[in-house]
Amino acid sequence: MGARRSPSPHLSSVLSPVLGENRVLKGYWLDLGLMPYLPAFAIQEQVLQARMEGRLPATIILQENPPTFTIGRAGSRDNLLVSPEELRQRGIEVLEVNRGGDITYHGPGQMIASPLLYLGDLGLNANQYLHRLEDLLIELLAGYGIQAGKKPDYPGVWVSEAKIGAVGIAVKHGYAFHGFSLNVAMDLRPFNWINPCGVPQMAVTSLEQVLGRPIPLAEVKARLRQIISDMFYLDLGDIAWADLQAIAQSA
């Protein structure tokens, strides 16, 4: 398990008061790499079920997806601005999923993180937890010298008027799943083919675009791992999917 450090002043200001330095949750860091959305979500569902049955501890799942549009529970295909034929030609899937929110785009160079956490351990309700994820992204971007913020009516994280990170969660029996994404170094053009989050002509940006230089995704993941460990008092160990599956089946 990785070493922990004291949270930054920003994180200290948003941590739930029920958590403390002596209450560290052991957990796993599972990086799936580049994987199609549906197989990756099937893994997430298996981990969620094992979490709810007490067979696995807190688990953070990382992934990238091939080009995919996902439509959340509040979404509509009306916010898809290109024809199904054009999408087929471009090799882009369109999937309706059970997270909150509307339509968004996933593609290579975007970091997707799904913390499978029990909200009772955190002392948070679903809305508070969603805002913690926004705080987490803001802290991550601050580490690159980027001042990001929130918009009252729209979940996610923004740099000026451009959205850089999306947040969409679901909760089942107190266990949170889905999570957030951060545009790191990706092709942003597909966002022009939708109304992102259901908002026409919403501007979208990426970490690479804001900084004007290449950003290794592995570096961003490492920074995220430290921040998420600090925010939720987690002690995370690396694990492969086959090993995690074996642990869940043997429990």
In a domain, 4, yes or no: no
In a domain, 1, yes or no: no
In a domain, 2, yes or no: no
Q: Residue 100: which residues within 8 A CB-CB, separation 6 or more?
A: 72, 73, 74, 130, 155, 168, 169, 170, 178
37: domain range? 9-250
Greater model confidence, 46 or 155: 46
In a domain, 118, yes or no: yes
pTM of the shown model: 0.88
CATH assignment of the domain containing 45: 3.30.930.10
Largest CA distance in the chain: 56
Alpha-carbon Rg for the chain in angstroms: 17
Of the residues 133, 138, 141, 197, only one is catalytic, namely 197
Give the pLDDT of residue 11.
Answer: 40
Distance CA 213, CA 162 (A): 18
Q: pLDDT for 137-186, tens place per residue?
A: 999 999 999 999 999 888 899 999 999 999 999 999 999 999 999 999 99
Give the pLDDT of residue 200.
Answer: 80
Give the pLDDT of residue 6.
Answer: 46
Q: Is residue 197 annotated as a catalytic residue, yes or no?
A: yes
Overall domain count for the chain:
1
